[in-house]
Structures are given as C-alpha cells and as structure tokens.
Amino acid sequence: MNETYQQESLFSAIADIQRRKILHLLQAGEMSVSEINQHFDFSGATLSHHLSILKKADLVRVRRQGQHRIYTLNMSAVEQLMLFMNKLFGAKEDEKQ
C-alpha cells in the first residue's frame, strides 16, 4: 500500500476542520468565495489559502463568473478518497470489490 502524492494531499486537505466545514458547505451546492466566507470568522486571505489546498487535492473545482469564483465539490475525488480509506482499513466497502 504505497500512497500516491494525490492521496497524501487528500488526507492533508481533510485534516483541517475549517476545510472540512468548507467541503460540507459545498455539499449543499456550489458557492462563491464571498458566500462561503459568510460562514467563517477568519480573513478572506485565509479562506483563499484553504481553498487553494482543497483545489490542489482536487476536492473542489472552480469556475469564473464575472468578479466571482464559483467553487463546487468534486465528488469523484471524494469517492477516490473513500475507496482508499476502505483499502487502508480493509473494510468491506459493500462488496463492490
């Protein structure tokens, strides 16, 4: 079980509670940066930093819309993460493999 860089970046990405909150927010639907920011106390720069880490892990995708950037949750990265977790722990993972 050698981990790829991609897997490592996934685990680092979800290690922070603020980033997990961001991911959970996006689960309900896409959001602009300022909309996301309404749910947090920290500065916009800090949010930008967290978003860049989530982007690098490919957990979120961005598109531009005027002045705004719209972030969406990338479910295929989420699925990849869950698959890897199942392998890691040797879980059954509903008999699919």
Residues between 30 and 49 that touch DNA (CB under 7 A):
32-34, 37, 41-49
Pairing mode, strands 60-65 and 68-73: antiparallel
Residue 66 or 95 with smaller CB distance to a copy of itself: 95
Q: Decide: is 61 part of the binding site for a copy of itself (CB under 8 A).
A: no
- The Cα angle at residue 68 between residues 54 and 73, in degrees rounded to 5: 30
Neighbours of 79 (CB within 10 A): 10
**In sequence order, what DSSP letters do the residues of 59-79 get, joined into one string?**
SEEEEEETTEEEEEE-HHHHH
Pick what 45 binds: DNA, a copy of itself, none; C-beta below 5 to 8 Å, kind-dependent: DNA
Q: Decide: is 33 part of the binding site for a copy of itself (CB under 8 A).
A: no
Q: Give residues in contact with DNA (CB under 7 A).
A: 12, 15-16, 18, 32-34, 37, 41-53, 62, 64, 66-69
